[in-house]
Amino acid sequence: MNRLFYIGVAIAAVIVLMAVFAPWIATQDPNVQDLTARFLTPSTEHWFGTDQLGRDIFSRVVYGARISMIVGITVVLICGTIGIFIGSVAGFYGKWTDKFLSGYLFNVFLAFPGLLLAIGLVAFGGSGLRNMIFALCIIGWVGYARVMRGQVLKVREYDFVLAARALGASNSRILSTHIMPNAIQPLIVQASLGMAGAVLAEASLSFLGLGIPPPAPSWGTMIEDARNFFTIYPHTLFFPGLAIALTVLAFNFIGDGLREYLDPKQRAR
């Protein structure tokens, strides 16, 4: 494992802990406004300063981790499950099933620029956590399905699959107990990169006003709020921006490290 992988794991662990223990870590209520304390610069009382409504930025960043992690983990779990199922079916059954799934369905979902489809779905269906997760899942599963299909195509040719078939195992049993466990490894990389993608997409949608409505402390919404004031009060944008960048960087580090570890060819480079 390279050093960046461990740095990524450390940062990700801090963010996950921040999300889980937000009520204990946050120094103040993230939504309490104090108009007499607007735009305060970082101090011992307000570690990251305050925003345009006098809310404590540190506490909002801590609670923002919760939103990012909820969206990221939910999207990765749902997309992963759908992707594993569809990818396995396409790779295992082949023929017309594969032609329809990988030749047509994958291409349809890859034909949309991901963020645009999410924007379209949220624009028509309305903003909010549920709709946003739905939109991100609609675009996210294809990546997992493609990787899984490729893996299943490879694993199904192995001798132990032939042996299972010779012993009279059914298709569903071969797929679920023999092929899937042996094909799933590269999906960990996909999940890690998918986590970074989901966090970024959530922040992007919130920045565009299509994510979780205010006053919820989403990092994207915080940056959108800070946009009008950051030239005078840069700290309002700096901390949520740093939080997003570090989170995405951490999961990218983990994904890259895992990929290198799992792929000896990459390791040699």
Judged by CB under 8 A, the number of residues near other proteins is 45
Distance CA 76, CA 136 (A): 9
Distances (CA, A) of 79 to 36, 138, 188, 228, 256: 45, 8, 12, 35, 20
7 binds other proteins (CB under 8 A): no
Q: What's the 3-state SS for 107-156?
A: HHHHHCCHHHHHHHHHHHHCCCHHHHHHHHHHHHHHHHHHHHHHHHHHHC
In the complex, least distance from residue 225 CB atom to other proteins, rounded to whole angstroms: 12
241 near other proteins, judged by CB under 8 A:
yes
* Interaction of residue 104 with other proteins, rule CB under 8 A: yes
Given candidates 32, 45, 77, 113, which one binds other proteins under the rule CB under 8 A? 113
Task: Provide the greatest CA pair distance for the chain.
Answer: 77
| Of the residues 149, 252, 257, 259, which one makes contact with other proteins according to CB under 8 A | 252
Q: Would you count residue 129 as binding other proteins (CB under 8 A)?
A: no
- Minimum CB distance to other proteins smaller for 148 or for 248: 248
51 binds other proteins per the rule CB under 8 A: no
Q: Kindly tell me which residue out of 107, 171, 176, 177 binds other proteins, with binding defined by CB under 8 A.
A: 107
The one among 10, 20, 97, 120 contacting other proteins by CB under 8 A: 120
- Which residue has 């893996």 as its token pair? 151
Amino acid of residue 49: G
- Out of 51, 56, 225, 256, which residue is the one contacting other proteins (CB under 8 A)? 256
What is the identity of the amino acid at 182?
A: N
Site for other proteins in 163-192 (CB under 8 A): none
Find the shortest distance in angstroms from Cβ 175 to other proteins: 27
Q: What are the backbone dihedrals phi and psi of residue 56, each rounded to the nearest 5 degrees, phi first?
A: -75, 115
Binding piece for other proteins, criterion CB under 8 A, among 20-28, 54-62, 163-171, 224-232: 224-232
Measured distance CA(143)–CA(104) in Å, rounded: 14
Find the helix or strand (DSSP H, E) in which 64 lies: helix 57-93
Contacts of 164 (CB under 8 A, 6+ apart): 173, 174, 178
Query: Which window, 15-23, 77-85, 107-115, 172-180, contacts other proteins (CB under 8 A)?
Result: 107-115
Evaluated on CA atoms 43, 44, 47, 51, the torsion sign reads negative
Of 19, 84, 155, 244, the one binding other proteins (CB under 8 A) is 244
Tokens of 38: 């607007």
Residues contributing to the site for other proteins (CB under 8 A): 4, 103-104, 107-108, 111-117, 119-121, 123-126, 196, 200, 203-204, 207-210, 220, 223-224, 226-227, 230-231, 234, 237, 241, 244-245, 248-249, 252-253, 256, 269
